[in-house]
Amino acid sequence: MLDGRYRVDGRIAVGGMATVYRAVDTRLDRVLALKVMHPTLAADVSFVDRFIREAKSVARLSHPNVVGVYDQGADGAYVYLAMEYIAGCTLRDVLRERGALQPRAALDILEPVLAALGAAHRAGFVHRDMKPENVLIGDDGRVKVADFGLVRAVDTVTNTTGTVLGTVSYLAPEQIEHGTADTRVDVYACGVVLYEMLTGTKPHSGESPAQVLYQHLHEDVPPPSAAVPGLPVELDELVASATARTPDVRPHDAVALLGQAREARAALSLEQLDAVPPQARTTEHDNADDRTSVIPRAARSVQMSLPTDGENQQQDPLNRTSILATPPAAPPTAPGPGRGRGRGRSNPRRGVLAIVAAVLLALGLGAGVWYINSGQFTKVPPLLAKTEAAAKKRLDEAGLDVKDVKRAYSDTDKRGTVMATDPKAGERIGDNGDVTLTVSMGPEIVKVPNLEGTPLAAAKKKLKDAGLAPGMTTRAFSEEVRKGSVISTDPGSGTKRKAGSAIAIVVSKGSPVDVPDVTGESEADATADLEDAGLKVKIATTRVHSEEDKGDVAQQSPKEGEKQLAEGDTVTLTLSKGPQMVEVPDVEGMSVDDATQELEDAGFQVEEDKGLLGLFGDTVNDQSVEGGEEAPKGSTITIEIR
């Protein structure tokens, strides 16, 4: 339980700066994500400031495509943000699972990302760390931008002093070279992300981050069509505009790039928008033995986007299956200078190739090649998050069989839904092949063991053995439980929790010990008294002037009655250097007031001796310590008045 309000249920992800947990706000009874800064960084003011800046910046945006921040606070060493919880996956998960995306899907993701960044830019902020990991795609198809932890004001010049913030694959040249960032660095990063969505790979790669940084500085991002032949020139131009190495050539912010993206979409035909990338086609060749280069494949391919199991296709532009109604066409030639708008016109060579292909097929040549290359293979359809029954039905419709159904616990997948397939979605498999489904049993539920009286190390092991995680450890005095053993847990023993849940532990500090006052005692006597009370002693390396004799205890920390300590706790003793000797000013002949003031300013206390003759006098006749001699600072000087 964090801050007495947020119950942590499980860990979602770990980063270099913070860990994100799935949690429940027990006050409002809603699921949210807790981003908790690593305690080792909480002492760094700059990191804490960055955390708070993220909360304030995102709270100001209030945009439907930005992950919302509900709360920000601290609980001891734990500084946290309470954020909107998005059930789904990241764009990185999608790219890892599917590779290159259809242009429509890539634009369907890019546009809401640009809308979110555009709102940030117009509000005066730069994200500075755009990458697929920070693009969340909800189960309902919503796209949201997360992690504004590196956000800065637009008009702030960021000097990184040799350290570049962000992720090397998406850094703009000016971030690397000058360490400065404005809205155009987000535009550059979005161009790189678009390239990656269209091709399935990053534009720059190397064996070390330094090599990638060098390429950002000295090499243009290549056109996506160079990696995926047939991509429209409008998409090449969109990537080139966003990733121009000179910032002034790029769109000035995400709103301007969004306008260009929508213009590019409007210029594309339905066939171009829904074209399946080569690595996703059913004619993909796995090895050289499957290839044929002598049969021209001229017949045009027809792609059909099919909604899956009654799902709303508009809500999930990624959840589509593309099929080929006829053998695929030869890959289009990559666009050259001056080409692009005319690519939709008829090609006179296409008719000739079609006739040749028809003749060869009529003669029985090539038909076997088509069957071997494509006809005997299909692709595993996307089944994640579907019910077991719906997944089996979908496989049956695709001509595939269910080999086995495995069951596994999951904190994130709904009970009874598919959480994994083997082979994975999109992988090629022979017709009538078998697919193994892994169906979620929901979160594993375990009981919190009784740990009262158990030593801390053994208690942590018992929690792990029970499938739980040791949580925050606090310490308290206890008359009944010996020091170092568990007093209680939160939640208590016997409570049911999901496996992996963190269990807070309260450990005994033993019986409280009253601290004796050893001020003024010798070092040996003070040490003996404290050790007899069950405490340890530490002697401070520095000594101080005091009224105590030299070598005796001048100060102790903690003092008597200041706080209770546990057995084995330490008391620090500071020894005396003896009183500080100060020269006494000569005040004879002065008025009483002037003499008193001068002596007090020198650090002495003053006592008046008027006697019988000085009852009505106002002049100092004598002083107990002669002027010019030394006396302990703080001691009393008596002045005789006549």
Q: Which residues are identified as catalytic? A: 129
Please answer whether residues 231 and 267 qualify as being in contact, where contact means their C-beta atoms are separated by less than 8 angstroms: no
Please answer whether residues 8 and 471 qualify as being in contact, where contact means their C-beta atoms are separated by less than 8 angstroms: yes
* C-alpha–C-alpha distance, residues 151 and 52, integer Å: 11
How crowded is residue 458: how many other Cβ atoms within 10 Å of its Cβ? 12
Please answer whether residues 367 and 276 qualify as being in contact, where contact means their C-beta atoms are separated by less than 8 angstroms: no
Question: Which residues are paired to 552 by β-bridges?
Answer: 522
Matching residue, tokens 């606070």 = 73
Spatial CA neighbour of 206 closest among 166, 168, 246:
168
Please answer whether residues 277 and 101 qualify as being in contact, where contact means their C-beta atoms are separated by less than 8 angstroms: yes
Spatial CA neighbour of 336 closest among 202, 436, 233, 422:
233
**How are beta strands 570-575 and 536-539 bridged, if at all?**
parallel
* DSSP code of residue 201: S
What does each C-alpha distance from 140 to 87, 143, 306, 312, 319 come to in angstroms? Answer: 9, 9, 18, 9, 11
What SS3 state is found at 109? helix
One-letter amino acid at 213 equals: L
Spatial CA neighbour of 303 closest among 329, 277, 274, 279:
274
* C-alpha–C-alpha distance, residues 69 and 32, integer Å: 10
* C-alpha–C-alpha distance, residues 382 and 307, integer Å: 11
String of DSSP letters for 402-433: EEEEEEE--SSSPTTBEEEEESPTT-EEETT-
Please answer whether residues 354 and 298 qualify as being in contact, where contact means their C-beta atoms are separated by less than 8 angstroms: yes
Spatial CA neighbour of 381 closest among 311, 330, 331:
311
Please answer whether residues 157 and 89 qualify as being in contact, where contact means their C-beta atoms are separated by less than 8 angstroms: no
Length of the chain: 642
String of DSSP letters for 605-635: EEEEE-TTTTSS--BEEEESS-TTSEEETT-
* C-alpha–C-alpha distance, residues 177 and 213, integer Å: 9
* C-alpha–C-alpha distance, residues 634 and 373, integer Å: 102
- Name the burial class of residue 287, with classes exposed (0-12), middle (13-18) and buried (19+) by CB atoms within 10 angstroms of its CB: exposed
* C-alpha–C-alpha distance, residues 79 and 51, integer Å: 8
- Could you tell me the two tokens for 198? 């269209």
Matching residue, tokens 């703080």 = 634
Spatial CA neighbour of 153 closest among 200, 120, 175:
120
The alpha carbon dihedral of 156, 162, 163, 168 has a sign of positive
